[in-house]
Amino acid sequence: MAASKKIFGIVLAGGEGKRLMPLTADRAKPGVPFGGGYRLIDFALSNLINSGLTKIVVLTQYKSHSLDRHISQTWRLSGLLDSYVASVPAQQRLGKRWFSGSADAILQSLNLIRDEMPDIVVVVGADHVYRMDFAQMIQAHIASGLPATVAAIRQPIELSDQFGIIQTDPSNPAKITEFLEKPKTATGLADAPHEVLASMGNYVFNTDALIDAVIRDGEMTDSNHDMGGDIIPDFVSRGQAGVYDLSHNEVPGATDRDRYYWRDVGTIESFYDAHQDLISALPIFNLYNSEWPIYTQQLNSPPAKFVRDAKGNSGTTVESIVSLGCLISGARIERSVLGPWVTIGSSALVQDSVLFDRVHIEPDAVIRRAILDKNVVVAAGAMIGIDHARDRERGFTVTDTGITVVGKGVRVEP
């Protein structure tokens, strides 16, 4: 990172996360637990901190209490070094209204930028799972001479209708000529016709250009005030947007298997699939990269413990993540992720599932292909994920792909 440049980080964390219901019924999407002991926002913040950014604000809005508490308890940087991660709610500086979009969130928070007077502002989303060295993107941004740069990841061309797609100038592949929102057809890359560049929702701006763009956007009555939907297309239309291809990004400790991993976990299916990416012996996303750690709150908890039940059954646990404080007694755990302080009783079966903090599974219960939110209790002999019609009758969410989701604090009877 250029030593002469002052860099400021903004994390957009005000999203409601409707597609993740019921996991977002009582919390903001970036505050949703992930991978055992993490929260979704930990990935964005870890990437920024590991990249050398030391002044970061998190713009929050929707049901942000648990998210704000997590940031205050976990992301405390030394004030002696003039470093901080600060959670900033909607301040209503432009009138008594909430954020109407991600661009409006920045517009209403311009005082934060003006207080620091940075040269460059890095703007990232708070609900993606990935590793990325933003210092390399910032260097590419400076070298381009353009006021805005969009991070992009290569995706198969047949998935174009799922992403914001970036088309580039054949004579200058680093310059964006068109930004298409989930197009039915797209043109493949010159060096890989079967691939396209999809926006990652991460941006680098020259400060004055960002301020000018959000102020102009705020004056438009026909805008959705969205960074990806309005601000970036504005820069593209003026020939002022560049693209940074994630395939040029080298993260220390990355393996060939997880080097360019990125997943938007905005739906129950993608959230579930991202957990499955963690658990194999050679994971698609490797949490054990100590050279680029993912930071989170360090719980004052005992180690996980596995014991025989009263009948002497030892149980088995395979291809699973088991967090601190868990107690497993003669149960079978397969291809699952267990959050802190989960307890599972004798002869219970948990397969292909994600269990949040302090879930309690009583003996002989069966949980298959399910997500259980915090403090769920599954009574002895109860079944989840076996009979989807019955799951729906009990008020549980069941996706089209057969994932059953049980909301926070529910007791599931046989």
Task: Name the binding residues for alpha-D-glucose 1-phosphate.
Answer: 164, 181-182, 199
**Bridge partners, 355 (sequence order):** 338, 372
Report whether 120 contacts 205 (CB < 8 A). yes
Give the H/E segment covering residue 206: strand 195-206
Produce one character per residue of 186-217: b if its CB has 16 or more CB atoms within 10 Å, e if not: bbebeeeeebbbbbbbbbbbbbebbbebbeeb
The burial class, CB within 10 Å (0-12 / 13-18 / 19+), for 292 is middle
Alpha carbon distance 106, 88 (integer Å): 11
Q: Three-class SS of residue 135?
A: helix
Upper half-sphere CA count for residue 10 (Cβ side, 13 Å): 31
Residue ranges of the binding site: 164, 181-182, 199
- The CA-atom distances, in angstroms, between 151 and each of 128, 181, 356 are 13, 15, 31
Token digits of residue 242: 């560049």
Report whether 252 contacts 291 (CB < 8 A). yes
- For the chain, what is the total number of helices (H) and then of strands (E)? 9, 30
